[in-house]
Structure 1
Amino acid sequence: MRTIDLKYYRFFLLLPLFIGCSDFTDITPKGQSILNKVEELELLLNDEYTQLQSWEAMYLVNDNIPAQNILDLITRHENGMPTVESVLLTWDETVDRTTITQDPQQNLYGAFYGVIGRIANPIIANVDQATGSKTKAAQIKAEAYVLRAFFHYLAVNFYARAYNPATAAGDGGVPYMLEDFPINGLAEKRTVQEVYQFILEDLESALELDALPENPAGMRVGKAFAYAVKAKVLMAMRDYAGADQAAIASLAINDRLLDHRDDRLAIPMPPFDIPFFERPRFNEEELFYQVSSFTMRYIFSPDLLASFDPNDLMLKYGELENNVATYLTGGVLLNQGGNMTSLAGVQAWFHYVMAGDFKIHYSINSLTTADMYLTRAECLLRGEDANIPAAMEILEKLRERRIDPAGYTPLNVSTKTEAIAALKQVARCENFATSKNFIDMKRWNATEPEWQTTLTKTLTLAPQGFMPRGGNPMIGWDPIPPVTTKSYILRPDSPLWIFPFPQAATNYNPNLTQNYD
């Protein structure tokens, strides 16, 4: 029987807290794994997958602005005191990012490999020898294979170059942690091509078991999610025919979309009975739900808000709405000690949201049925024989469910260039407050000029602060002249698209050389 080092899998020591009282009388001989029952192994899958939020990814693509004093952040950066936030805000490629202290609480690398090491690999290593239902054993083994594939997919997208068929065999990737990895060994950094090949092998192993449920619990892996991961992986590898077939397979199991026009989703907000849109948690679009445990503020950029249709129901009535943001932002300016007063126009551009009030309920890194529709639309636009009408039909299927019927107008698209722009716009709005905009933009920017985007941003700063508009802070705030502006550009081939391995990993593994120049 394969044994598990308890020092490596410390999480396992907590298992008695979740096991019935009678199990406390069981004695496991020294040197043997305590995970020798299928029902014990399944407990590892009862995870909330927290700490997977990537503020860095959202800062980079300009979906969000750091919830800090922007003027002070930029001033300190320009005076030689950069931070992770200031580098991503200013898109400064000259800073040595390996020297910047990183918050261990936001160590995505550790979070990704934590799922692989304490959940996926222990199940794969032990389930064949475990006692219990063979049907259940096959199911949780398949789930573990999908989890291992998916979190490696996330890791390689954050810490390595986007997949390029011409260079993937030589491009540095990330470690691929298999179940027989030696406890005291140093992880080998695989090439991008090797990582993707391992991912596909794990997905095929999962699907070959034919044990994944079609209607899993919200935070458990099912067959539709497995095919969705396969679709995104093949899309990244530019196998568009294969990606389309996998997306079709996923949608054949679950093709449901939330309809934001549904009056049942509009909730009156007291005391003014303003219609308020709340996206339900564990909704039918989510293929695998991941919660966020963060309590930081969401400060949405003007660029993101401008990308939404002005009649978008979430923009008009939901967490993104800015019709009543003036008094909310006035409260921010008053109660946060001027924390955001250095950024002119904040009251019109951003909506202040605490995590406790953030009720859109998006899974931060996971996949949805909308992602599969977007995958299908992109596949239809690929190649010289692009099917623009069919792609636009899919995009309009999404748009018409998100936009107020009184203001809905189909997009007027006739060229492939216009269709690509429409796809990017719809995808960005569907995937806001997630890491998926980062992954998509990075992939599009890799080598293809017609898909690349040069991002730009201009920040208007008010060093003297703000004054209440018309003397009434409940109406809004205006910057005190003089104001200054700062403009920034992010190139499609910028090294910033590749995140640095964290010091917590590189300090102990010399194999983890950075993948950017």
Structure 2
Amino acid sequence: MKKYNIYFILAVIFLFTGCKKYLEQVPDQRTKLNTPEKVSELLVTAYPRANLFLWSESMSDNVIDNSIAGAVNNINIGGYFWKDPEDISQDSPNYYWGACYTAIAAANQALDACNKATNPESYKAQKGEALVARAYAHFMLVTYYSKAYDPATAAVDPGIPYVTEPETVVLKNYERKTVAYVYEQIEKDLTEGLPLIVDNYAAPAYHFTKKAAHAFASRFYLNKREYDKVISEANETFPSNEFASNVRPWFAYANLDVSETRINYTAGTNPGNLLLGETVSRIANNYYNTRYSMPQVKLNNLTAPVGVNFSAFKKYSTSSTFYFVNKFYAHFVRTTINATTGTYYAMVPLLTTEEVLMNRAEANVMKGNYTAALADLNTLISVRVNGYVPATHDLTDAKIKNFYIATISDPQQAYLKAVLDFKAAEFVHEGMRWLDIKRLNIPVTHIDLDGTVRVLPANDPRRLCQLPPEVSLSGVELNPR
């Protein structure tokens, strides 16, 4: 009996030792963020995997009621009529809201790991990327869903929830606070994170490199109307002023076919793409053939700012009705290897060399530095005009004033209009025109085929995208209508 008791005791000890080891294992085999490399892998998801390009273009003055033969697309229709979004699918404001907060959640989880690490110095690069990525996602949210930053009203205008901690409960209450508060938090994250960034990415175009972070900073300070900082950040992006050699090279696409042009335009090797987004999106399928889009005259006028024809652009048409600049490539990922269903992705430019150059031009205009602004505009002309000859194609003070003399008498406003028109040409289909309309409170007019005139006045509440209705479950108020 003593022998059997010993065997029984040994078996129990072995059983409980095995159970203890088993219970010490994480049940779902989740990865512990206990190395800088693992945190870097998480940060791949700290960028919004969505875009609002189609919605933004549809809201702007870039499009008209083109043809009843156009493709029916709910995003295009909702944007054109400035409706509150009902669609929750990709390319919708509701989808973008969720994608931004998903990215913020990943950034917060990464920051939590960085801050709790026993060797925090080893995580500095990851912390820098996470802070800037968190700032970017919040900035895009406040840009679309709140009023544009205005120093006179920012302290009372409702912002968006600025989330800085990982979520640990299913439903947590959040406050919108104010636009001023959101901007303060963005600037805090940006200024803390940028110096920590180390440019050692395998695919740098998909991460906040120092160059991309400074580019984002130039956009942020332009919206904040701090023009000296815009110029400083633009200069930090390209310290040797090498803008002309780092734009998206349209001249190189001259002999490429449609697919090759699209792939190259949104490639990570394209020097103009300072930050690319891998987005779940059908933008490549829909941007050129929807009902509310561009006819030939509209596109030709748009891409000839201040009378300068951007002849390097490759323009295409569908049935001689729908005209477009060839930009986006549709990546279709099948659900399984033999499936006929799947998800469309689009690689889209989020920050570019051209934007930084135009940000600096606008800042110089607002400071009255017109000679410097002209230099920036002429830099863009030099890489967008076939057979460029400075004496023929460069803008001058007289050309700008004469071009706008019928409608604009203030020289500063004439120069500002020139910059905005250059941006509208450069970023056609990319949603940037709406950001300028929103930022500067520019009225928009849409004219339907039957002659109906629709106007979105300055300060109209429909300029603010409506928040998804389900956010009210977390105590977040919707925008007034």
The residue aligned with 1:370 is: 354
Which of 233, 237, 246 is matched with 1:257 structurally? Answer: 246
1:402-437 C-alpha deviation (Å, 9 max, x unpaired): 122269723312433321121011111222222322
Give runs of aligned pairs for residues 199-210 of structure 1, distance below 5 A: 199-209=186-196
1:514 aligns with 2:478: yes
Which of 39, 42, 64 is matched with 2:40 structurally? Answer: 42
Counterpart Cα distance in 2 of 1:216 and 1:404: 32
Aligned to 2:361, the other structure's residue is in SS state helix
The residue aligned with 2:235 is: 248
The residue aligned with 2:214 is: 227
1:301 aligns with 2:286: no
Amino acid in the other structure paired with 1:109: W
1:115-168 C-alpha deviation (Å, 9 max, x unpaired): 011x21111001233478944x21111000000000000000010000111111
The Cα of 1:348 is off from its aligned counterpart by: 3.8
Aligned to 1:179, the other structure's residue is in SS state coil
8 Å CA contact retained: 2:206, 2:275: yes
Counterpart Cα distance in 1 of 2:76 and 2:183: 30
The residue aligned with 1:440 is: 436
1:203-246 C-alpha deviation (Å, 9 max, x unpaired): 12213436455997221111122222222222211111122212
1:355-379 C-alpha deviation (Å, 9 max, x unpaired): 5469xx9964611121111111111
Aligned to 2:467, the other structure's residue is in SS state coil
Which of 385, 391, 408 is matched with 1:403 structurally? Answer: 385
Change (3 A) 1:357 1:189: closer
8 Å CA contact retained: 2:205, 2:275: yes
Unaligned runs of 5+ in 2: 1-23, 332-344, 402-410
Which stretches of structure 1, 4 residues or longer, exceed 6 Å deviation after superposition? 29-33, 65-68, 70-74
Q: What TM-score, normalized by structure 2, do the two folds share?
A: 0.75
Which of 412, 416, 429 is matched with 1:416 structurally? Answer: 412
The Cα of 1:297 is off from its aligned counterpart by: 1.5
1:426 aligns with 2:391: no
Counterpart Cα distance in 2 of 1:457 and 1:406: 35
The residue aligned with 2:455 is: 489
8 Å CA contact retained: 1:142, 1:212: no
The residue aligned with 2:6 is: none
Counterpart Cα distance in 2 of 1:363 and 1:125: 29
Unaligned runs of 5+ in 1: 1-25, 75-82, 331-346, 446-452, 461-483
Q: What TM-score, normalized by structure 1, do the two folds share?
A: 0.70
Amino acid in the other structure paired with 1:493: N
8 Å CA contact retained: 1:260, 1:313: no
The percent of aligned pairs where both chains have the same amino acid is 21
Amino acid in the other structure paired with 1:39: E
Counterpart Cα distance in 2 of 1:246 and 1:489: 36
**Structure with greater helix percent:** 2
Flag the structure with larger Rg: 2
Give runs of aligned pairs for residues 64-83 of structure 1, distance below 5 A: 64=63, 69=68
Change (3 A) 1:71 1:203: closer
8 Å CA contact retained: 1:38, 1:131: no
Counterpart Cα distance in 1 of 2:378 and 2:99: 36
8 Å CA contact retained: 1:174, 1:191: yes
Counterpart Cα distance in 2 of 1:409 and 1:139: 44
Query: Over aligned residue pairs, what C-alpha RMSD do you find?
Result: 3.8
Amino acid in the other structure paired with 2:87: Q
The residue aligned with 2:271 is: 284
1:38-64 C-alpha deviation (Å, 9 max, x unpaired): 222111123474322442211101335
Amino acid in the other structure paired with 2:447: T
Counterpart Cα distance in 2 of 1:36 and 1:56: 40
- Of the structure 1 ranges 154-163 and 64-73, higher mean CA displacement relative to structure 2 is found in 64-73
